Amino acid sequence: MAYTINKTDGTAITTITDGTSDNTTTLQLFGKSFSGFGEGLNENLVKLLENSASTSAPTAPLKGELWMDTTTNQLKVYDGTSFKPTGGAKSSSSTPTNASAGDLWHDTTNDQLYVYTGSAFLLVGPVYTSGQQLSGWKIETLTSSGGNKVVSSMYAGNTRVAILSLATFTPSVTQTGFASIKAGITLNSTLGAVFEGSSTQAATLDTSDTTNASSPGETLQGGANFLRSNAADTTTGALTIDTDSGIIVGDAQELTVTVTSNNVTVAQTSQDKDLKFTVNDGGVTKTPLQLTGADGGVDITGDVTITGNLTISGSYDKSSVDVSTYTDTFIEVNSGQASDVDGGLIVEQASGVEARIFWDTSEQYWAAGKTGALNQVITIADATDDGGANHSKVLKASSAGGLTMDSVTLVAVGDPITSSTSATEKKLATISQVQKSLKLWGGSTISDDSSNSIAGNRYVETSAPSSGQGSNGDLWFVREA
């Protein structure tokens, strides 16, 4: 009589005739009076014990059948379509295949746990890999004199970067970088950590000072106490810029104030542009001082008062025609010179010829004149009243009014008087010219033999005339013998 083999739900899966065996399923099924069924039956029991452990799945599985996959070392169950893991955590370095929703996978490479959602594995934790070390938020309890405090610590690469706390307190046990923990977020002081980035908006910003409730006695500065960077603002406190980079002003950064080796530099950085200092003089803006960029000069407008010495290493150029006045008793030239040099006054002329009066160091006297025609300026000490003994000196009258000369040669002399109307000649006349003029004036005959025997109009004798000598209208000159 043939056997009809049914599944648990009553569905027949095969019919086995007498004396035969059936391989419709993973197990070998035997008909009535099958010879040698003992070996096959024992093998079936072994398969059940090991859940058909093999590297390949059973070829004729039934829904619900178990199979031990020796490749992945997973126990799998046949769902009517394929073998799926039976559940539990799977440790491997690669993502499991044929996972079912809810399956766990331990990633042995990164020491992280994943859960299968039905479509993909989702990381459960930790959020960092074993190579990245502790990174992210960690809930911790820190002791303090005021009791234990629960905080959230932010780690990066196993280093605590910040602590988020509800209250301000000082830990009883030293926490590196956190001597004191403030309400809010406290950054690790050893890292020089700062908040970077920008805030697009804030719900509120206090404009007045408030008291920190978490830290009695501490004043929180209101927003009104901070200077704006995008508009004009005012501060009542001192403004300290603690950097040698100093101050930069202007849309093109034209003005800078910097420090180098404790030396302060005020610079106009635009090429050929000026640095001006202006004042309000009775409502009028004036520029008393200007540093000119085009020529590197200093222009000063207005009166200048100097208390102390004025030292000029270059030349002094006064282009105005005004008269300069000095109240000093002396004006000193060439002060502090290591060697003697000429010095004095120069008057510039439009023709280019200079008029000078100066001390000639090489000659040791004052000289004056124009370029190329300079002469000594004579002083009283340079003159003498004895022209005989001092031929090279300038003559002056003696105290008695006399003037001593060995000889005099007159070069600039006049011409003889030729008529009674000759009155235009202004040069000095010699004695002979005067004598000749007298001859021409009174006649051509002159008696000079003391005999007065020659009748004539003029007489030049060594003695005065006697009675009977001469005629009316005659001239008589007495000369020394």
- Condensed to tens digits (0 to 9), the pLDDT of residues 392-401 reads 788 888 878 7
Q: State percent of the chain over pLDDT 90.
A: 37
Nearest to 291 by CA among 322, 248, 255: 255
Average pLDDT over residues 206-233: 68
For the cut 80, the answer to whether the pLDDT of residue 479 exceeds it is no
| pLDDT at residue 306 greater than cutoff 70 | yes
Structure tokens at 133: 């070390």
**What does the block give as tokens for 345?**
């006054």
Among the listed residues 81, 59, 1, 55, the one whose alpha carbon sits nearest the alpha carbon of residue 33: 1
CA 82, CA 99: separation in Å to the nearest integer?
A: 11
Residues 6+ apart with CB under 8 A from 230: none
Rg over CA atoms, the chain: 67
Beta strands in 135-179 (DSSP E): 136-142, 149-156, 159-165
For residue 418, pLDDT beyond 80: no
The pLDDT value recorded for residue 459 is 64
Q: pLDDT: is 211 or 145 the higher one?
A: 145
Give dist(CA 481, CA 244) in Å, integer. 107
Strands (E), 332-427: 343-347, 355-360, 365-370, 373-376, 383-384, 394-395
> Residue 287 — very low, low, confident or very high, per pLDDT cuts 50/70/90?
very high
pLDDT at 278: 96
CA–CA dist 248, 83 (Å, integer): 75
444: pLDDT strictly greater than 60: no
Beta 458-461 vs 475-478: how paired, if at all?
parallel
Is pLDDT of 480 > 80? no
Whether 455 has a pLDDT exceeding 50, the answer reads: no
> For 237-380, where are the alpha helices, taking DSSP H only?
none
Distance between start and end Cα atoms, the chain: 214
pLDDT at 301 over 70: yes
Judge if pTM exceeds 0.75.
no
Structure confidence at residue 213 as a pLDDT band (50, 70, 90): low
Pick the more confident residue, 325 or 95. 95
Q: How far apart are CA 396 and CA 385, in angstroms?
A: 5
pLDDT of 449 over the 50 cut? no
362 Cβ contact list (under 8 Å, min separation 6): none
134 pLDDT band, cuts 50/70/90, is very high
> What's the pLDDT score for residue 133?
92
Q: Which residue has the higher pLDDT, 27 or 434?
A: 27
pLDDT given for residue 438 in this prediction: 58
What CA–CA distances, in Å, run from 177 to 142, 159, 187, 263?
14, 10, 8, 38
Tokens representing 296 are 């590197």
- Whether the CB-CB separation of 432 and 419 falls below 8 Å is answered with no
Instruction: Name which residue leads in pLDDT, 319 or 195.
Output: 195
Q: Is the pLDDT of residue 443 over 50?
A: no
3-state class (DSSP) for residue 89: strand
Q: In the prediction, which pLDDT does 481 show?
A: 63
- Any idea which residue has 């003994």 for tokens? 389
- The pLDDT confidence band at residue 245, using thresholds 50, 70 and 90, is very high
* pLDDT for 471 beyond 70: no
Sign of CA pseudo-dihedral 258, 264, 270, 276: positive
Q: What is the reported pLDDT for 203?
A: 59
Tokens of 340: 């003697």
**How many other β-carbons are positioned within 10 Å of the β-carbon of residue 361?**
13
Q: What pLDDT does 162 receive?
A: 96
Across residues 241-250, what is the average pLDDT? 93
pLDDT digits (tens, 9 = 90+) for 370-387: 988 888 898 888 888 888
Mean pLDDT, residues 160-171 taken together: 95
pLDDT for position 452: 46
Residue 265: what pLDDT? 95
Q: What is the pLDDT of residue 453?
A: 42
| Stronger pLDDT, 194 or 170, i.e. the higher one | 170
Looking at the DSSP assignment, which residues form a beta bridge with residue 105? Answer: 90, 114
Asked if 138 and 128 count as a contact pair (C-beta separation under 8 A), the reply is no
Where b means 16+ CB within 10 Å and e means fewer, 461-471 reads beeeeeeeebe
**Residue 224 pLDDT > 80, yes or no?**
no
pLDDT-based confidence at 415, cuts 50/70/90?
low
Higher-pLDDT residue of 433 and 377 is: 377
d(C-alpha 456, C-alpha 465), whole Å: 13
- Give the mean model confidence (pLDDT) for residues 57-69: 92
Residues contacting 463, CB < 8 A, separation 6+: 450, 478
Give the count of beta carbons closer than 10 Å to the beta carbon of residue 251. Answer: 5
**Reported confidence tier of residue 237, pLDDT bands at 50, 70, 90:** confident
Q: Residue 182's pLDDT is what?
A: 93
Mean pLDDT of 51-77: 90
Look at residue 266 and tell me whether its pLDDT is greater than 70.
Answer: yes
Cα angle, residue 345 at apex, residues 343 and 348 outer, rounded to 5°:
130
**Residue 274 pLDDT > 70, yes or no?**
yes
Measuring CA to CA, which residue among 440, 481, 441 is closest to residue 460?
481
More confident site: 98 or 424:
98
pLDDT at 103: 82
Query: How far is C-alpha 234 from the geometric centre of its chain's CA atoms?
Result: 25
DSSP state for residue 448 in the 8-state scheme: -
Q: What is the mean pLDDT of the chain?
A: 82
Lowest mean pLDDT among 286-295, 310-319, 408-417: 408-417
Whole-angstrom Cα distance, residue 467 to residue 481? 21
